[in-house]
Structure 1
Amino acid sequence: MQASAPAAEELDREIERRLAELAALIERFTAEDGMHATVVKGMSLIRASRPSEPLHTVYKPMVCLIAQGRKQVMLADEVVVYDPARYLVVTVDLPLVGQVLVASRERPYLCLALDLEPGDVGALLTEPGLPRPSAASGGEREERGLFVSRTDLPLIDAALRLIRLLETPHDIPILAPLAVREIHYRLLKGEQGARVQRIALAGSQAQRIAKAISMVKSNYTRPLRIEAIAREVHMSPSALHHQFKAVTAMSPLQYQKQLRLQEARRLMLGEVVDAATAGYRVGYESPSQFSREYSRLFGAPPSRDVARLRSMLGSRSAMG
């Protein structure tokens, strides 16, 4: 035990050094706060110079690796916190509430986010050195569609190789797929690799739930037809309801409601439509029901909430 302590301390110091390098690169390629798409397909860089308000948005399958700062996401009533020591993986489309907890102008929140494509993850599952995928089973128990896991040195190194390519754009077409593949490999070899596997296992319970989520998401303005979705994904309505909630922490109807209300908020804020019009466009027939459910999710009626957001955005813009 004593002999391994210095080695463990040196490993921790090396992880800190690599995270500092990752933070410096993210800061270099993000001139201002916000989410910045990059020329590397699927990779975004996020920067925030102050703690944020809770932000409702739909996360797609991705890995989020924080180099500096701390953030939390809420799924229904569950809170997940991640930081440089713990990365976040989202395995299905989820309506989450994200909030940057630790950030300042001197030490901004800095994060690298990479989309996880089922086909790319699946291409690795037959490679030697990885645990064999577990056979799909109708009785398999599903887990939440997001988790945090311990950040290790090989994963940080793979992320560094990917972000360094922004310095040599001509290398991106050849080398970026290799770096992305290594990140997928490191996730699959990590503590919760079995959960990453489920992103890509065709015919698995996880894939059926992912398909059901996609169907709800694609048709969120229409009345929800659980029986039709259940038939499409080859599950009974009761099994679909149970497994859907196991993955998303909400029923299909609650999931649809989150999508509707988030889109209505975006419409009112970005396209300057009134509450009645926004509610109608996302599938509500009753303005009073829309207002009640909007207030329940966002904490204020539509007009007051949007006015607050506009005021907040305006003050931040004036501050630069």
Structure 2
Amino acid sequence: MADAHDVEGDGTMLPFSERFLLNVKPLAKHVPPSLHDKEKISRVFYGNDSFYVLFRLHQTLYERIQSAKVNSSSAERKWRASNDTSPTDLYARFMSALYNLLDGSSDNTKFEDDCRAIIGTQSYVLFTLDKLIYKLVKQLQTVATDEMDNKLLQLYAYEKSRKHGRFVDIVCHENARVLLHDENIYRIECSSAPTRLSIQLMDFGHDKPEVTAVSMDPNFASYLHNDFLSVVPDKKEKPGIFLKRNKHRYSDAEECQAMEGFRVLNGLECKIACNSSKVSYVLDTEDFLFRPQKKTKTLQQNGSCHDDQAKISKRVQRFHRLLSSSS
């Protein structure tokens, strides 16, 4: 039975790429503190030509809509200066005309006439808005269905799942180069203070990056996904006692009571070799299990100290018998 975290709200199974992110932490290589970027409120995404075209089309659409809003506001001020009556919302009229064009209620000729009447001579940049929106939607569909573009989106989610302060731009760029070894790589950064989107074409310099094989052998892929990374269903029977000396203490207690005070930190990472399928642990990573020692309660029963001394004496006697029998 699938884990509750592996199922969406409608009951469908999540894809493996998303389930992988739920169970596995991204690996982080050691980077000197001097190479860490300064803390800033921004998000970085590395994309290819498809994402560059998508963002450029979005930028062009935003600029044209902004132009319509600015020019309609200017026309409203002129109307207010020449007439005593309050002007209508020209920008709302323009958006209504645009929606009518997109849903087929009007044609391009009527839309152009409406733009001239609402905005004026600066409306010529708006005549092809329907074609621009069509190209933007087609490009969005291309990105959504392309395998490489989806891998880049998964890589972004992979890097974003790192702990705060462990995101390193250099590592993110190198991971993108693994996927886009012979393609253009664009660094797309979105800043919120101030609000700004910057796009930078990354330069490989004089050294062309080596081609890195990103496809896996079918047998190795089957072992990785079906055996090594598979989600083992919960067994109905209870597992055996690992530390038997704790059996008398927690055998009759509830599980939540037995786990009270436990501190568990899963930080152990491992790497696997594609050619030999050998698994090795990553240095400086570990799992941490700790339960603070409870304060020793004051013994209430009479003779408890005497019982402890008797137990110690029996252990000493058994130890001496063991020594005498081995000599």
TM-score past 0.5 threshold = no
The higher-RCO structure (CA 8 Å, 6+ apart) is 2
With structure 2 as the length reference, what TM-score do the two structures score? 0.22
> Bigger radius of gyration, 1 or 2?
2
More strand by share: 1
With structure 1 as the length reference, what TM-score do the two structures score? 0.23
